[in-house]
Amino acid sequence: MNDVVIIATARTALAKSWTGGFNMTHPVALGGHVVDHALRRAGLEPGTVEDVVFGCANPEGATGINVARQIALAAGCPVEVPAMTVTRLCSSGLQSMAIAAARIAIGEADVVVAGGVESISCVQNEMNRHMLEDPRLRARLPSIYMPMAETADVVAKRYGVSREAQDAYGAQSQQRAAAAREAGRFAAEIVPYDTQMLIQDRRSGEIRRVDVTVAADEGIRPDTTAERIAAIPPVLRGGTVAAGNASQFSDGAAACVMTSARYAERHGLPVLGIWRGFAVAGCAPEEMGMGPVHAVPKLLRHTGKTTSAIDLWELNEAFAAQVLPCQRLLDIPDDRLNVDGGAIAVGHPYGVSGTRMAGHALLEGRRRGARLAVVTMCIGGGQGAAALLEIAA
């Protein structure tokens, strides 16, 4: 097996869905932008890419028709460069990296671009709902179609996570992300994007197209406190999950360039880290938030690592309600978990988050002198995914 390395990473800042900077930007353009810049950072010509793998949770509409292929072309890749779109919902951006890594490891390719794209603004409310559910499966296992917020409330109840604890975690995520942004710790990953957005004048109702540069994550609110979050009504009646302790809808794209270690060495490419392994595992759909608790042990088992060997954890903040019990059951120390905040603050464009977190773990890990990082997330329908990265010294 070939060792697989990550050479470069690039992402857009994450914009609030519907009201944010990417509310009229085509997701193909977002994807093209980050692939283009990841390749520049890697110092590779688009023509050298042997495959482009992009993850997307809702690969239809504006992110349909094999969006990865369109993204590759938008990035300037010649028509000879192939591409595939992959979905495993919220882990799609990590799954795309896993596929790229596997292909490189068994020698099928030397240079693959992996990434994720999601435009919740342009896709989610336009979804094709025809026969969205199979009534027979629903009859047998209704939780497979349970809305995500509801699964988080189930987890909160079953694992005893109070509203107060969730709100405190939400505020912490905001404060950590704000501090990271302030210190410029997202600067190396974000590529600003000039675009136009739509706004509506509150008073006149007039819709206007305005020029914007999206250069920073829009969801970060430094003034957030647990008290303020506590005043937000829950999403579901009687529940504890609320805006403020759950991830934000957002739009964006992220990409990374992966090669074989041999190729990187031969071409003198800068190595960010080494892909050490990947695991996925299933669980009960109604507690999908606990996915990491099933995937991480599997990952550690087959990579031969222990929890204590992991220096840095990126555990996707779908909901504070699931982060907290995952942290407890996986025994993750607070000062190694989501050190620069997570999706509650920066936003969660589903298919992007895996690539974003891997990229951030590599850059932040290098800054901290960490050696091993785990990127993990829960997945709708009841799954967890986890990847082990070794940070280049």
Partner 1 sequence: MSNAVSYEVRAGVACLTLNLPPVNTLDSPLRQSLSACLETAALDPSVEAILISGQGRVFCGGANLAAFETDGLAEPTLHDTINRQIETLGKPVVAAIHGAALGGGLELALSCHYRLWQSGTRLGLPEITLGFMPGAGGTQKLPRAIGLLPALNLILSGRTALIEEYADTALADAVVASGIDFTEAALNFALECSARRPLPRLRDRAVDDPDAAALLQFARRNLGRGRGWPGSAAAIDAIARTVDGTAFDDAMRQEFTVFQDLAQRPEARALRYQFLAKSRVGKDKQAAAASAAPLQRAAVVGAGLMGSGIAFCLARAGLEVNLTDRDPAARERAFASIESDLARLRKQGVLDETAADALRSRIRWTEGSETLAGIDLALEAVAEDYDVKAQLLRWLDQYAPPHALIASNTSSLDLNALALVTRRPARVVGLHFFSPASLMPLVEVVRTAHLAPEALSTALALCRRLGKTPVIAGVCDGFIGNRMIERYTEQACALVEGGITPARIDAALERFGMAMGPFRMLDMVGNDIPWAGRLRRYASQPGIADSIADRLCERGWLGQKTGQGWYRHAPGQKRPQANPELPGLVEAYARERNIAPIDPAIDDATLVQRCVLALVNEGARLLDEGIAERAGDIDVVYTMGYGFPATRGGPMFHADEAGLVNVLRLMRRFAAADVRRAAFWEPAPLLLHSYERNVPLHTSTSGARS
Residues marked active site are found at: 90, 348, 378
**Please, what is the minimum distance in Å from the beta carbon of residue 28 to partner 1?**
13
Phi, psi of 384 (to 5 degrees): -135, 150
Q: How far is the CB of 200 from partner 1 (least distance, A)?
A: 5
Q: Quick one: 61 or 192, whose CB is closer to partner 1? A: 61
Question: Which CB sits closer to partner 1, 126 or 182?
Answer: 126
CB nearer to partner 1: give 92 or 195.
195
Name the minimum Å distance from CB 232 to partner 1.
13
Least CB distance to partner 1 at residue 301 (A): 46
Query: Residues 11, 295, 134, CA angle at the centre, nearest 5°?
Result: 85
Task: Output b/e per residue, 57-72; b: 16+ Cβ within 10 A.
Answer: bbbebbbeebbbbbbb
Q: Which residues bind partner 1 (CB under 8 A)?
A: 18, 23-24, 122, 125-126, 196, 198, 200, 203-207, 209
Whichever of 184 and 205 has its CB closer to partner 1, that residue is 205
- Work out how close the CB of 230 gets to partner 1 at its nearest, in angstroms, rounded to a whole number: 14
- Secondary structure of the chain in HEC code, one letter for each residue: CCCEEEEEEEECCCEECCCCCCCCCCHHHHHHHHHHHHHHHHCCCHHHCCEEEEECCCCCHHHCCCHHHHHHHHCCCCCCCCEEEECECECHHHHHHHHHHHHHHCCCCCEEEEEEEECHHHHHHHCCCCCCCCHHHHHHCHHHHCCHHHHHHHHHHHCCCCHHHHHHHHHHHHHHHHHHHHCCCCCCCECCEEEEEEEECCCCCCEEEEEEEECCCCCCCCCCCHHHHHCCCCCCCCCCCCCCCECCCEEEEEEEEEEEHHHHHHCCCCCCEEEEEEEEEECCHHHHHHHHHHHHHHHHHHHCCCHHHCCEEEECCCEHHHHHHHHHHHCCCHHHECECECHHHHCCCHHHHHHHHHHHHHHHHHHHCCCEEEEEEEECCCEEEEEEEEECC
Nearer to partner 1, 24 or 137 (CB): 24
Which residue's CB is nearer to partner 1, number 242 or number 344? 242
- Looking at the Cβ atoms of 106 and 198, the one nearer to partner 1 is 198
Nearest distance, CB of residue 214 and partner 1, angstroms: 15
Minimum gap (Å) between residue 127 Cβ and partner 1? 12
